Amino acid sequence: MESCNCIEPQWPADELLMKYQYISDFFIALAYFSIPLELIYFVKKSAVFPYRWVLVQFGAFIVLCGATHLINLWTFTMHSRTVAVVMTTAKVLTAVVSCATALMLVHIIPDLLSVKTREVFLKNKAAELDREMGLIRTQEETGRHVRMLTHEIRSTLDRHTILKTTLVELGRTLALEECALWMPTRTGLELQLSYTLRQQNPVGYTVPIHLPVINQVFSSSRAVKISPNCPVARLRPVVGKCMPGEVVAVRVPLLHLSNFQINDWPELSTKRYALMVLMLPSDSARQWHVHELELVEVVADQVAVALSHAAILEESMRARDLLMEQNVALDLARREAETAIRARNDFLAVMNHEMRTPMHAIIALSSLLQETELTPEQRLMVETILKSSNLLATLINDVLDVSRLEDGSLRLDLGTFNLCAVFREVLDLIKPIASVKKLHVSLNLAPDLPEYAIGDEKRLMQTILNVVGNAVKFSKEGSISITAFVAKSESLRDSRAPEFLPVPSDNQFYLRVQVKDSGAGISPQDIPKLFTKFAQAQSTATRNSGGSGLGLAICKRFVNLMEGHIWIETEGLGKGCTAIFIVKLGIPERLNESKLPLMPKVSSNHGHTSFSGLKVLVMDENGVSRMVTKGLLVHLGCEVTMASSSDECLHVVSHEHKVVLMDVCVPGMDGYEIAVQIHEKFTKRHERPLIVALTGNTDKATKENCMRVGMDGVILKPVSLDKMRSVLSDLLEHRVLFEAI
Amino acid sequence: MEVGQMQGRLVDYTKSLFMEGFLDGQFLQLQQLQDESNPDFVVEVVSLFFDDSEKLLNDLTMALDQKNVDFKKVDAHVHQLKGSSSSIGAQRVKNACIAFRNFCEEQNIEACLGCLQQVKQEYYLVKNKLETLFRLERQIVAAGGSIPLMEMGF
């Protein structure tokens, strides 16, 4: 035997078994080499693999195992020592690596297992979230539906549209088979089917309101599931054996307008309800979900609010239409009233002139007629004519006065006058009539009553006369007493005249006059009518007394103009009555003659009666008027110089002439120029004669021109004797006279 | 005829003149101015009026006859006439003058001529009346009576 270093196998080579081992090892090695390649390939493919170096380790282990098995192939036959060494090395390495890997795997495998657990957990979580999201989505969709429904419902204020829209939208949102609204009838004892979704024309189907199921629904504010067989839900004839879907009913509060009281808002005891019934499609196995029920409840509330808004709007529209109608009617009435007033004013204006003229002609001619020789019968006739026409004239004047008072166009003619004289005159006027009726009239003037007062004498007398006249007229017997005194502030405030607030001041006083009679008296309810125009107390006694019924109305207006108050006190029928009035009068300053009335007092016994020696220069182009004026002045005693032209006038005028009367209505000639030149000629005031213009022009321009050039007065032609007399006396007293033109 | 009757006739006649509008209140004023120091005042004034008016009417006729009528002059004449007539109280003459003046302003020749006719007519009428009046007065004075004073209260 040769000795070699070869190592002999353990047991002799069995040919077949050896072959099999040989092949298996080969394949093992192949597998061992290809597994890491596959691993690397697939790991490279996948992005996520955390344990790379473990893989390396594993790969190394496998490679070495493969190497071992590969090297094993050589050991089946005789092999050299190197091969054995390599084999051993490989085996050793393999052992090392595999041990290391085994140890590593101990750490790794629990981790890998836990990964799996986490994966399962996450999957569960994902499933749960999915479910929740589904829920939220459903809710959000519900909310969107509600908003949309509300918007649709509230976008109209028409009742029918609201209800129809509600049903349509609900039907769409919830995919209902049928949706119906039952409204309570007028009597409130039944519910009537008013609106349905599918059926176009609901028959007037009613159910009594006190069914238990209905009560159940009405008593709760939630949507209640009801049986499909109850009368409110049986809207369609049941066809076939289909399973009817679930039905839900909810109440819709109907707010009556009168329910809008802030305090009892939560009180629902007297509310009326409508019933809304919703049916799911039959044979659908759908069920009512909670969110759907909530949706229905919300919608029912919204509908209630929308209906109430619609009702309010209807109400306000109706009220507005009513107001507009009333406005139009009022406007028309106002315009008619204005037209009537204008017509009346026009009529009165015409009447003013047209009626007075013939009236005065009649009165004048009748009085003239009286002066002539008449037979007694004729005289009687003429007196009757005169009396009647005087009465008529008074009536016309009264009516015209009233209308002027109404317009506010009447102004008081203020002047200083003797107060006591007024009363005495009234007394004188009334005494004859009173004595005929055997009435006793007494006048009582308080001692502190001022002798002179400032006011409208004529109208004050008219008022007193009217009041006293009434007293006499309505008294058949007894006495009339007239008292007048200054009213002190305490007695001014009378409970019967609450709106009368007198304000006394320094130079004014309040005159209070009381006229008491013992006549028939007046019943208290007639008193307010007394002062209204044309109304008379309806008793036979008064009706026969005549009169237009205007007297007291006019008195009241005069008294009001004088900032006073008039009223009547009576104790009843048959007990007489007292008429009282208070007027405000002014107190004149300490007797200053020059302040006495500026109204021309034409009385031939006052003023200067003779102007003897008064030198007057008359300038007039017209010979005839010149002569007439001269005649006037000569008759009054003046010394008259005449001038027929402006030059002559300027030539003749001297400081001896006290007055220059010049005619300025000659066209083309400027009388004003002369005035200016006279002014220039006499610079000293006391030397200059008074320049007075005579003119026939009544316009303001003439008067203004005269004043502008420095004339001292203007007189309107034609000048009567009395007028000339008074003019001259005024002129000489005051050195100025501007007659109101 | 005795004085009383004559006076009555005078009064009636005077009244009629007033009624018919020939005279107005101004004439009464004139009568009032007549007194002892001035016994013929009214007659004097009226005579002056007659003379003045004749002249004015002639001037007016000539002025309106012109080819180119000078309305200013015409107006001036009418104004004078108006003044005189109103001074003595010849009411109808004065009213006619007022109408005349309006047409003068309008420069309406036809109307002016018409007015002139009117004025002349009125003037002659009132002249006639006044002359009758004065004749009656003279008769009374000649018969030894006094002229009754007119008192007219309107």
pLDDT band at B49 (very low <50, low <70, confident <90, very high): very high
Give the other-Cβ count within 10 Å of A282's Cβ: 19
Question: Least CA distance to B80: which residue of chain A?
Answer: A622
Read off the pLDDT of each residue in A201-208 and give the average, rounded to a whole number.
73
Kindly report the backbone phi and psi dihedral angles of residue A507, in degrees, each rounded to the nearest multiple of 5, phi listed first. -105, 30
Question: d(Cα A240, Cα A227) in Å, to the nearest integer?
Answer: 18
**For residue A704, what pLDDT is reported?**
76
Q: Which helix (H) or strand (E) holds A378?
A: helix A376-407
DSSP type of residue A262 = G
Residue A581: what are its φ and ψ, rounded to 5°?
Answer: -140, 150
Tell me how far apart the alpha carbons of residues A694 and A620 are, in angstroms, rounded to a whole number. 9
CA distance A670 to A702: 12
Whether cis (ω within 30° of 0) applies to the bond prior to A358 is no
Helices (H), A247-375: 290-371
Q: What pLDDT does residue A53 have?
A: 73
CB contact, 8 Å: B41 with chain A?
yes
Question: Locate tokens 């004088």: which residue?
Answer: A562
pLDDT digits 0-9 by tens, A467-498: 888 888 888 888 889 999 888 766 555 555 55
Q: Which of B33, B76, B154 is closest, CB to CB, to A721?
A: B33
The CA distance from A254 to A232, in Å, is 19
Query: Quick one: pLDDT band at residue B128, thresholds 50, 70, 90?
Result: very high
DSSP-derived pairing of the beta strands A737-738 and A206-208:
unpaired
Q: What is the pLDDT of residue B127?
A: 92
Which of the following CATH numbers is that of domain A411-489+507-533+550-586: 1.10.443.10, 3.20.20.80, 3.30.930.10, 3.30.565.10?
A: 3.30.565.10
> β-strands A452-455, A415-418: how paired?
antiparallel
| 3-class SS of residue A135 | helix
- pLDDT the model gives residue A489: 67
Q: CB distance A622–B72 less than 8 Å?
A: no
User: Each residue of A92-101: pLDDT tens digit?
Assistant: 888 888 888 8
Position A125 confidence tier, pLDDT thresholds 50, 70, 90: very high
pLDDT at B136 over 60: yes
Average pLDDT along chain B: 86
* CA neighbor of A720 nearest in space, from A606, A635, A612: A635
The 10s digit of each residue's pLDDT in A618-634 is: 888 888 888 888 888 88
Kindly report, residue by residue over B4-47, the tens digit of the pLDDT.
Answer: 888 888 888 888 888 888 888 888 888 888 877 778 888 999 99
How do residues A274-290 score in pLDDT, each as one tens digit? 888 888 887 777 788 88
Report angle CA A204, A209, A210 to the nearest 5 degrees: 150
Distance CA A329, CA B69 (A): 64
Q: What are the tokens at A207?
A: 């159910």
Q: CA-to-CA distance for A329 and A334, rounded, in angstroms?
A: 9
Residue A399 scores a pLDDT above 90:
no
What domains sit in chain B, N to C, each tagged with a CATH number?
1-6+41-141 (1.20.120.160)
pLDDT at A337: 94
Residues 6+ apart with CB under 8 A from A198: A177, A178
Q: Cα B141–B146–B152 angle (5° rounding)?
A: 125
Nearest-CA distance B135 → chain A (Å):
21
Pick the CATH number of A615-739 from 3.40.50.2300, 3.30.200.20, 3.40.50.300, 3.40.50.410: 3.40.50.2300
Band of the pLDDT at A538, cuts 50, 70, 90?
very low
Q: Are A161 and A153 in contact (CB under 8 A)?
A: no
Strands across the sheet with A190-196, in order?
A206-208, A190-196, A178-184, A272-279, A247-254, A224-226
With a CB cutoff of 8 Å and minimum separation 6, the contacts of B87 are A622, A624, A625, A627, A628, A718, B26, B45, B49
Q: What is the gyration radius of the CA atoms in chain A, in angstroms?
A: 65
Q: CA-to-CA distance for A299 and A150, rounded, in angstroms?
A: 7
Mean pLDDT confidence for B102-120: 88
Convert the pLDDT of each residue in A295-353 to its tens digit: 888 888 888 888 878 878 888 888 999 999 999 999 999 999 999 988 887 887 777 77
The answer to whether A304 is a known ligand-binding residue is no
Contact A622 B80 (CB under 8 A): yes
- CB contacts < 8 A (A, B): 75
CB A420 within 8 A of CB A449: yes
- Least reliable range by pLDDT among A259-273, A424-438, A550-564, A703-717: A259-273
Q: A594 falls in which pLDDT band (50, 70, 90)?
A: very low
* pLDDT of A565 over the 70 cut: yes
* Higher per-residue pLDDT: B115 or A672: B115
Is the Cβ pair B35, A668 closer than 8 Å?
no
pLDDT of A6: 66
Length of chain B, please? 154
Does A327 belong to an annotated binding site?
A: no
- C-alpha distance from residue A137 to each of A318, B96, B98, B108 (Å): 46, 110, 107, 105
Residue type present at position A160: H
Contacts 24+ apart (CB under 8 A), A603-608: A604/A722, A604/A725, A606/A729, A607/A725, A607/A726, A607/A729, A607/A730, A607/A733, A608/A725, A608/A728, A608/A729, A608/A732
* Helix, strand or coil, per DSSP, at residue A515: strand
| Residues in chain A within 8 Å Cβ distance of B76 | 667-668
Judged by CB atoms closer than 8 Å, whether chains meet at B76 and A667 is answered as: yes
Conformation bin of residue A735: beta by default, left when phi > 0, alpha when psi is -120 to 50: left
Spatial CB neighbours of A411, under 8 Å, sequence gap ≥ 6: none
What one-character DSSP code corresponds to residue A636?
A: T
pLDDT reading at A124 higher than 90 = yes
Of the candidates A660, A559, A677, the residue with the CA atom closest to the CA atom of residue A614:
A660
User: Could you tell me the two tokens for A670?
Assistant: 């400027």
The sign of the torsion formed by the CA atoms of A629, A631, A635, A641 equals positive
| pLDDT level of residue A595 (50, 70, 90 thresholds) | very low
Give Cα A602 distance to the centre of its chain.
60
Q: Which of residues 656-675 of A touch B (CB under 8 A)?
A: 663, 665-668
Three-point CA angle A94, A98, A101, nearest 5°: 145
Q: Which H helix or E strand runs over B45?
A: helix B41-65
CB B57 within 8 A of CB B119: yes
CA separation for the pair A76, A13 (Å, rounded): 8
Exposed / middle / buried, residue B91 (Cβ in 10 Å: 0-12, 13-18, 19+):
buried
Confidence of residue A133 (pLDDT cuts 50, 70, 90): very high
Do B45 and A628 make contact, defined as CB atoms within 8 angstroms?
Answer: yes
Dist. CA A186–CA A272, nearest whole Å: 11
What is the separation of C-alpha A215 from the centre of its chain, rounded to a whole number of angstroms? 47
Question: Residue A684's pLDDT is what?
Answer: 67
- Residue of B33, B49, B88 lying closest to A632 (CB–CB): B33
pLDDT digits (tens, 9 = 90+) for A145-184: 778 878 877 777 777 888 888 888 888 888 888 888 888 8
Contacts of B123 in chain A (CB under 8 A): none
Say if residues A255 and A307 touch (Cβ distance below 8 Å).
Answer: yes
Query: For residue A74, what pLDDT is reported?
Result: 77
Give A693→chain B minimum CA distance, Å: 15
Cα(A579)–Cα(A514) distance, integer angstroms: 6
Which of B:78-137 have CB within 8 Å of A? 79-80, 83-84, 86-88
Percent of chain A with pLDDT over 70: 81
Domain ranges of chain A: 24-105, 155-234+244-258+269-317, 411-489+507-533+550-586, 615-739
What are the residues facing B23 on neighbouring strands? B90
Alpha-carbon distance of B8 to B14, in angstroms, equals 10
Answer whether A635 sits within 8 Å of B26, measured CB to CB.
no
Q: Record the tokens describing residue A721, joined without a space.
A: 């004797």
What number is the average pLDDT over the span A658-663?
84
Task: Please state, in angstroms and rounded to a whole number, the distance separating the CA atoms of residues B115 and A502.
Answer: 63
Sign of CA dihedral A263, A268, A271, A274: positive
pTM score: 0.36
Q: Which residues of chain B are within 8 Å of residue A668 when distances are taken between CB atoms?
A: 72, 76
Q: What is the pLDDT of residues A343-395, one digit of tens each?
A: 887 887 777 777 778 888 888 888 888 888 889 888 888 888 888 888 788 77
What value, to the nearest 5°, has the Cα angle with vertex A663 and ends A657 and A665? 160
Is A37 annotated to bind ligand?
Answer: no
pLDDT at B129 (0 to 100) = 92
Q: Could you tell me the pLDDT band of residue B51, with boundaries at 50, 70 and 90?
A: very high
Interchain CB distance below 8 Å, B37 and A667:
no
- Short-list A723, A719, A702, A720, CA closest to A711: A702
C-alpha distances out from residue A200 to A153, A270, A386, Å = 20, 32, 92
Residue A599 has pLDDT above 50, yes or no: no
Residues in chain A closer than 8 A to B72 (CB atoms)? 668
Write the residue in A367, A666, A721 that is nearest to B32 by C-beta: A721
- In 3D, which of A548, A456, A553, A467 has the Cα closest to residue A513? A467
What number of CA atoms fall less than 13 Å from residue A20's CA on the CB side? 3
Q: In this predicted structure, what is the pLDDT of residue A628?
A: 83
Closest residue of A to B32, CA-based? A721
Q: What is the pLDDT of residues B28-37, one digit of tens each?
A: 888 888 877 7
Which of A142, A499, A468, A513 has the alpha carbon at shortest distance from A296?
A142
Q: What does the pLDDT read at residue A548? A: 52
Question: What CATH topology corresponds to A155-234+244-258+269-317?
Answer: Beta-Lactamase (3.30.450)
Predicted local distance difference test score (pLDDT) of residue A327: 96
